[in-house]
A = this chain, B = another copy of it.
Amino acid sequence: MYPKKLMAMLAVIFLTALSLSAQEKRYVMVLHGGAGTILKQNMTPEREEAYTGAMKEALLAGYKLIKEGKSSLDAVEAAIWVLEDNPLFNASKGAVFTHDGRNELDASIMYGKTLEAGAVAGVTTIKHPISGARAVMEKSEHVMMVGAGAELFAKEVGLEIVDPSYFYTQPRYDALQRAIKQDSIKAVLDHDAKQSNRVPFQNRDDKFGTVGCVALDQEGHLAAGTSTGGMTNKKYGRVGDSPIIGAGTYCDDRTVGVSCTGWGEFFIRSVVAKSVSDLMEYKGLGVEEASRLMIEKIGQLGGDGGLVALDRNGQIAMPFNTAGMYRAAITEDGEVEVAIYK
């Protein structure tokens, strides 16, 4: 009897250890390229490959720096440059257009070691908005700068400035024209005076495509960053969650780094990124459960989107309540995982 029981116990211990070691794969970077109605039936193999390839390229750009002993801030910035430069994503080159036909960019970054943070919003000439955010963090005493003032600052500290036409891409411009057309149809159909001032969302996915990244460097410091072109056809100087520290981005070495994507208004109201950290710090939850709870809360309020999170121990979470989210992660051994659909 006893040896059999012992064998069973040993088997349980062995299997538990196996599953723990599987869980405890140590990641050093995680990123997203936006969440939304991303369905396999609407995707061509070429397009899928383009997204997958871009995410891998971004991960490897950051991973290389981490392996060289560079900081997580450097890794986040390098990874986001790759996504900003790629017109597939709604950030920098490839950003969506505002109602007035402009590309207004938002970004934020935070460093878990010092709790320093930086953000820019509504900028139209900074080639890499994530670097604008980093410059605000490192070269000013401020955390957030908006509009022309932020652009002036970026120029003064030597960041690459481009003509606003740099951000133009035909598909995004066409999307604006469709949105404006739908908007005018909606305005004609809208007989409810009380509602007529409500800014409508023409297309639920017009607000998606933000990019973001979290990295953990060899010294154990976390950094998180987010960059976006905002929402197609946006009006009235609308700002979403991406440049808001606590909402779209948060990072603390004692807990976790988080970058969000989705319907920004809901992420601001729930202060999602900081809440993930607080659920871990104050309630003792793991990164997986804390992240899942916050995406559930967004859903309960009527919003959608997702987030990527990387904790101090190299554990990740990538929950979302949309059909898909472009997402990828890399372990400390260089193993890459990429996914798009549910």
Contact = CB atoms under 8 A, between A and B. Distances in A.
Contact of A198 (B141, B144, B198): B141
Contacts of A279: 278, 282
A139 B157 CA distance: 39
26 contacts: A115-B269, A115-B301, A122-B146, A122-B147, A139-B197, A140-B198, A141-B198, A141-B201, A142-B265, A145-B237, A146-B147, A147-B237, A149-B236, A149-B238, A150-B237, A157-B197, A244-B244, A244-B245, A245-B268, A245-B269, A246-B274, A250-B271, A274-B275, A274-B278, A278-B279, A279-B282
Interface in A197-234: 197-201
A121 interface: yes
Interface residues of A, number: 51
Q: Chain copies in the assembly?
A: 2
Contacts of A239: 121, 144-146
Given A139-B197, A141-B201, A145-B239, 16 more contacts: A116-B269, A122-B146, A142-B238, A142-B265, A143-B265, A143-B269, A145-B238, A146-B146, A148-B237, A149-B238, A150-B237, A153-B236, A244-B246, A274-B274, A275-B278, A278-B279
A265 to B, nearest CB: 5
Q: When A and B form their complex, which 7 residue pairs have the shortest distance between CB atoms, in order from nearest?
A: A149-B237, A246-B271, A278-B278, A282-B282, A149-B236, A153-B236, A282-B283
Contacts of A147: 122, 146-147, 237
A177 interface: no
Contacts of A116: 269
A199 B278 CA distance: 31
A192 interface: no
Interface in A179-211: 197-201
A117 interface: yes
A270 interface: yes
A109 to B, nearest CB: 12
